[in-house]
Amino acid sequence: MFPEIDQEPRSPGALFDTHAHFECAPEESAAAVERARAAGVTRIMAVGGSEALNRGTEGFRWRAVGWDRDQAGKDLPELDYDGVSAVGEIGLDYHYAPGARAAQMELMGRQLELARGLGLPVVIHTRDADDDTLGLLRDVPSKGIIHCFTGNPRFCRELLDLGFYVSISGIVTFRAADNVRESALVVPDDRILVETDSPFLAPVPMRGNANEPAFLVHTARFLADLRGTPAGDFAELTTRNALAVLGPGRT
């Protein structure tokens, strides 16, 4: 069992990493949490999606468990959603997994229904699957987070219209990611979130390293500059948004 991690904030300008994965040993996760806290990232949501990733969320105050697109078509065990802040990550990826669309949609749709029944927000991954994602979200009215947004501003607006929060990852710092920067500018102050998606997608200037929650400060600073918001205000508003959608966590 993962040791309990104290994630109380130390300062009001502290950042909330709304999306981090921990597939590593518990001691390594605890060390990463401690480095994050020292950097000013005082809250983290640990996110599942596979059996190993779901296990890696144990012990965190904010955790999401669910089955991602790579689990589509598999025989999956029941998950325990007691004390969980969200269902996720779930969703569609036609970039890396262009086959199995029907199975991905079935798995996502089933978990949207489940989250709605439990009254929980969902954490959605969507890549090169705009129309099917919107179709499912219109079929099953849901609340939650579009994580690691990589679409265009038009898709972003449609998701905002459905009531979703949009979470921006370190991709926004990559040179080729004009679409993510343009999209980040259409998200209003009361719907934007920040995340690392660690251990993937380390932001500039940490590219090439394994990502970790402490590196969120680079993405947050970049986004604050992009949006013309003072860094302290940006930390405060993104943290307020995260708490609004995810709640206080297990206390």
3-class SS at 46? strand
- Return the structure tokens found at 64: 């999401």
Q: How far is the CB of 213 from Zn ion (least distance, A)?
A: 13
Q: 11 or 209, CB closer to Zn ion?
A: 209
Give the binding site for Zn ion (CB under 5 A). 197
- For tokens 């969703």, name the residue: 91
Q: 126 or 183, CB closer to Zn ion?
A: 126
d(CA 90, CA 102): 14
Q: Under a CB-based contact definition with an 8 Å cutoff, are residues 73 and 55 in contact?
A: no
Q: How far is the CB of 11 from Zn ion (least distance, A)?
A: 27
Q: Which of 152, 149, 186 is closest to 168 using CA atoms?
A: 149
Q: 197 or 212, CB closer to Zn ion?
A: 197
Nearest-CB residue for Zn ion: 197
Q: How far is the CB of 223 from Zn ion (least distance, A)?
A: 18
Q: 57 or 239, CB closer to Zn ion?
A: 57
Q: Which of 146, 179, 147 is closest to 161 using CA atoms?
A: 146
d(CA 195, CA 245): 14
Q: How far is the CB of 155 from Zn ion (least distance, A)?
A: 18
Q: 9 or 199, CB closer to Zn ion?
A: 199
d(CA 128, CA 9): 36
Q: How far is the CB of 22 from Zn ion (least distance, A)?
A: 11
